[in-house]
Each structure stands twice: as C-alpha cells, then as structure tokens.
Amino acid sequence: MIEFAAIEGAYSLLTSSWSAWIWVLPGLLVGLFFGAMPGISITMAMAIFLPMTLYMDFLPAIIFLTSIYTGAGFGGSVPAVLMNIPGTSSAVATTFDGYPMARAGRHNQALGIALASSVIGTLSSYVLLLFLIAPVSRVVLKMGPLELFAVAVWGMVLLGSLAGTSLSRGLLAGVFGVLLGTVGMNTAGYIRGTMGVPWLLDGVPTIPAMMGLLAASQLLGLINTRYLIEDEASRQISLAKILGGFREALSYPSIIARGATIGVLIGAIPGVGSSISNLLSYSETKRNAPDGDTFGQGNPKGVIAAEAANSSSEGGAMATMLALGIPGGGATAILLAAFAMHNIVGGPSFIANNKDIVYAIIFSNFAQAILLLFVGLGFVYIAGYVVRVPLRYLIPSVLVVSTFGAYAISGSSSGPITLVVFSLLGWAMVRYNYPVAATVVGLLLGNLLEDNLLRTWQISGGDLSYALERPFAIVIFVLMVLSLTLSAIAKQRRRRRAATEAPVTPEIGS
Amino acid sequence: MTTDSQARLVVNWGHLALLAVIGGVVVAYLVDARGVSLRTNNLLLVQPTAILALILVAAVLPQCFRRVPEGEEAAAEPLSDLGRVGALAAAFAAFALSLETVGFDIATMLFMVVGLYICGERRWWLNLVFSAVFTVLLIYGYGAIIPFPFPLTIL
C-alpha cells in the first residue's frame, strides 16, 4: 500500500530545506483572502498566483498552489456563513444552514464547525490518497498510448458533459479547447494555425490563456455584480464559541466521514468536483438525518456535511491529476500547468518515477490542513473586513496583476495579448453557460491527445484492428459512450422536469 | 426576427456571435491545417476534431433562438451593463497592447485610473491616490520576484 523507501525520500525532501515550508503560510493566507472575497473562485486565486511560481523550485511551487487550494476551501465558507454569499461555488451548501445559524447569533459556532470540518475533510482525503497512490500507479503504468488517449478523451467528455448545463455546449467547449491546444508545431513537424505569428509555433501560451479563461474573464463579468454586504451587521467574534463549534463538529463523526467519502469520490471524477460534492453531501445528510426537516433553518449538521465534502474533493481531484495527468477541473488544470512550467510531465510515469515527490506533496497537505486550523482561527477575526473589499477596487487591480503575471511568464507582450484574447472568449463563454474549465483542460490536453494518437497510429501502422489488441482501451471507450448516454438521459429528464414545473419559453432544439 | 400567431422567435445575438467566432476559428484552422499538408501525421487529430466541433456548433445553433409567447417580454440585460463590460475590456486590451511601448508604469497607472472609474469609483482624489500607490507597489513588488526588468518610462 505504502512504499516506505519513497516515504523516506519525501521526508528528506521536506526536511532538507526550508524552501518547501516557507510557502505554506503565504499560500494559505492568499487562499483564505481570495476565497473569502465574494466573486473570486479558488481557480481564480490559483490562476493569478501561478506565474509567481515560475521562479520557485518545483516542490515549493506545488506546495504554494495546493496551500492556496486548501485555504480557499475554508475561505469560501466565511462569507457563506456571515452574509449568505458563497465565496466560492463549492460553499453553496454551506449557506443553507451556515447563514441561518449566523442570523440566530450562532455565527461563531458555524465558523468553528466549518473550519473543523474543512480541516478533517482535507486530512482524510489526503490519508486516502497516501494509501491509494502506490497501487494506482502500478495500474496506470500498464497503459499504452491508446489507453492514455482513451482516458484523456473520457476525461474531456465527462468534463464537458457534466460541468455545464447543456451537453452540446459542454462538449463544444472541450473540443474547441483541444483544437486550440494543437495550434503550432506538432510532433511530426507540421506547423498549423500560427497565422504567421512566431510565438504561436510553440502553441498557444497555455498559462496566460488559462489565466484569461479562468480569472480575467470572470472579473469582466463581475463589474455589474453588486453584493449588498454593506448593510450586513458586523458580528462579534468569540474564540470560545468557535472552539465550541469545533467540538460540535467532532460530535458528528459519521457525517464528516460521509461528507469526506462523497467529496473524494466526486472530486476524482473530472468535471464534477467540489461545487457538486458539497450539494450532494448536504442532500444525503439531510435525507439520512432524523431531524432532516430542520435543515435550512440553521442545523449545524448541514454545515458539517457541506464543508467536509468540499474540502475533501481536493484529495480526490489530486488523485486523478497525479495518477493520470488529467485535470478534472480548473484547479487541477492549474497544478498540471505548474508541472509543465517546471518541465515535468504529469501522469503515470511521473507518479512511478517520483513517488517521493508525490508523498512529499501529500505530507505537505497534512501540514497545510493542520496549519489551516490555526491560521483560519486568526483569519475569522479579520474576515469581516475582507468580505467587504469593494469590487470596484478589486477588479482593475487583479486584472493588472494578471497581466504582469502573463508578461512574467512569456517575457514579451505575447502573454498579455493572449490573456486579453482569452479573457474576452472566457467572458462570452461564461455568459452563455459554456463550462470554461472544459476549454482549459482541452487546451492543456490537446498536445497530449495528438501525441498519443500519432504514436498509436505509428505503432499500429494505421491498422485499426490494433485497437482489438488493447482491450482496456476498448473498455474505456465503451464506458465513455455509456456515461455520455447516461448523462444525456439525465439532463433530458431534468429539463423535462423543469419544463413541467415552469412551462415558459422553451428553447428550440436544446 | 420572425413572428407567427402564438409566439415570436427571439434571437440571442450575443450567443450567435460567439458561435460564429468559434465556428470561424475552427474553419480557418482546418483550412490552414489542410493547406499545410494532407498527410495523416498532420490531420489525424485536427481534422476529425474540427469536423466534430462544427457538428457541435450546428447542434448548439438552434439554442440561439427562443420562442417567446406573444405579449411576453424577453428578459434583456440593460445596455449600460454591457457597455461597462465593453469599456473595461477595451481599456484592458489597450493596456496589454501599450505595455511595452509606453512603459509598464504609465500604462498601469492609466489603466488603473480608467478601470476604477469604469468600475464605479467617482472620487477622483481617491482614484488617483490608489492608482499611484498601487502602481508603485506592484512595479517594485513584482520587480523583486521577476529576474528580468519590466520596460519602464518614469519609475
């Protein structure tokens, strides 16, 4: 289950230099601040800070980004509890009972419960990852180029079909991303789609494009958002009551366990992640609780269920990303881009050859979760001010920081230009309900897909019957078609149900 | 826009424009890729993916048209909201394009002033002070992390 030699390697990696540790606290703080600001998502925070990791070593860079991920997980729950605004999409279910608790004067307990559940959720998901990563790596190493191609396509299809509201729009977002990802010179030496621009020879600059799609585009959309938070009464913070919330959370281990399990499983599926897992865990807990009818009126169990699930999704998403090199959503796409920035290719061979680094990442996440407990406690004292940061200052400031980051990555105007083009594209896509995460993942995987398909073509000499010799690939393709059909049926049903409930303005052909 | 007796057909022009952009980019890319070479090593992934993308564009296209019962108004976003997004996007594009020519310091300061104004800050003194402080802090702060210098004019 666990490879002890690699664990020893991880231990020496983490203890030989302070550079791996120095970024944990700043990462957590960045995550907490940005997560707590309404409108700023986890992925946005990670995308903005991604260019800064270029000049760090690989391990500190990944630790910094995962610290942001961990911090933002709890940060998002602060405005959810205090003002009924989920700081990130993964904190939606936290508002259901967190805010009623705050209205009843129990905001300290709610924050304590959210913090304790987040910490335990993150810890348990990484414990699971610790035990699973070695066996999983042995399985994925058996995969050839055709299987890798099949898995990448499956991931894309899942992401496209599950992330958006419309199957066709989701798939189009993913397919368009794949095409953009193949621009430039391919491994066979053909140069396509560069329009004579020299810097496109290496392909579309992935990181500025990603920052544009995930961060800048959302900022453009936020300009017309007005949160009525100025009117909200400021609330007294009490350490004793927050600790009381801790104890309350710990008295429901089964809810935390259920939430964490749902979080890990859902987090591992591309396209679903923490924004769904918190809702699923909430509804499951509500269904199973004897006092289910008090959910929504300030029942602490609701907060526990939501927070345990959204924070444990991180471990699940990391499992897919580390084992297969396939990001399940925006946050892991950014981590994979950070891998690429340090000339490290994620996927089966990475995990097999660098188990010490993988274990070091896992151990660092244990430390992050525990540190979050203390940093989070301190943060709630100032959180009331953070959630009030006016968007009119935030939007241009973050746009400028992103542009500096894009320039730092590319060293020329190509980065900022790519950032602008993709932020406009992203804004339009978000506006018309296309999942931009699918385009980002497509962009990242475009090259991988083409390389693996070309390799398969070259190995097989163009003989299609080669696929029959690779039954695992066929199984993946069959599973893909099945999951696609099922999600199409589910969406159709949901739409029909919605149509019978609210029979207005039907969309033609959707 | 067409009308019949029960319902009007409302066109979502913005969505249609997005689809036109996506479709246009895909077609241009496919034509370019085919112009480079028709060999399998070049088109193995690009051609089928482009065709799939075009099929998906065709599948999404009908979603740009909605039937709205006669007498019912389709919910529309105020033009001023779109104007603000457009103005910010234009300022952002100008900022990105002018960085190297006018220098990061001037471009950042100008973009911050314009951006803050578009986003709703109407107190000029606050706008100018915040923009100036932010520009100085960012240029020196980021400059400390990045090993190569940003082209600057004043700072």
A66 contacts: CB under 8 Å, gap ≥ 6 = A27, A314, A318, A335, A361, A364, A365, A368
Q: Which residues of A touch B103 (CB under 8 A)?
A: none
Closest approach of B153 to chain A, Cα-based (Å): 16
Closest approach of B155 to chain A, Cα-based (Å): 16
pLDDT of residue A1: 67
A423 interfaces chain B, CB cutoff of 8 Å: yes
| Best B99, B102, B114, B131 residue to mutate vs chain A (most A CBs within 10 Å) | B99
Task: Give Cα A208 to chain centroid, integer Å.
Answer: 18
Cβ distance A91 to A40 under 8 Å? Answer: no
Alpha-carbon distances of A80 from A99, A219, B101, B113, rounded to whole Å: 7, 20, 44, 32
Cβ distance B5 to B33 under 8 Å? Answer: no
Contact B63 A166 (CB under 8 A): yes
| Residues of chain A by 3-state class (helix, strand, coil), percent to 5 | 75, 0, 20
How high does pLDDT run on average in chain B? 89
Helix (H, G, I), strand (E, B) or coil at B10: strand
> Taking the CB of residue A224, how many other CB atoms lie within 10 A of it?
16
Contact B41 A188 (CB under 8 A): yes
DSSP B3: B
For the ranges A50-64, A402-416, B94-108, B137-151, which has the lowest average pLDDT? B137-151
H helix or E strand, kind and range, residue A402: helix A391-410
Measured distance between the N- and C-terminal CA atoms of chain B, rounded to whole angstroms? 55
| pTM score | 0.83
CA A311/CA B27 separation, integer angstroms: 42
Express each pLDDT in A459-508 by its tens digit: 888 777 777 778 878 888 888 788 778 777 877 777 777 777 654 433 33
- Whether the complex's predicted ipTM surpasses the cut of 0.85: yes
Alpha-carbon distances of A15 from A40, A53, A363, rounded to whole Å: 34, 20, 11
Contact A505 B100 (CB under 8 A): no
Residue that has been written with the tokens 């007796």 in this structure: B5
A261 or A86, higher pLDDT: A261
Q: Residue A503 class from Cβ within 10 Å (0-12 exposed, 13-18 middle, 19+ buried)?
A: exposed
Contact A413 B96 (CB under 8 A): yes
Express each pLDDT in B14-69 by its tens digit: 999 999 999 999 999 999 999 999 999 999 999 999 999 999 999 999 999 988 87
Of all residues in chain B, the one with the smallest CA distance to A448 is B45
Contact B41 A183 (CB under 8 A): no
Cβ distance B22 to A444 under 8 Å? Answer: no
Closest approach of B120 to chain A, Cα-based (Å): 6
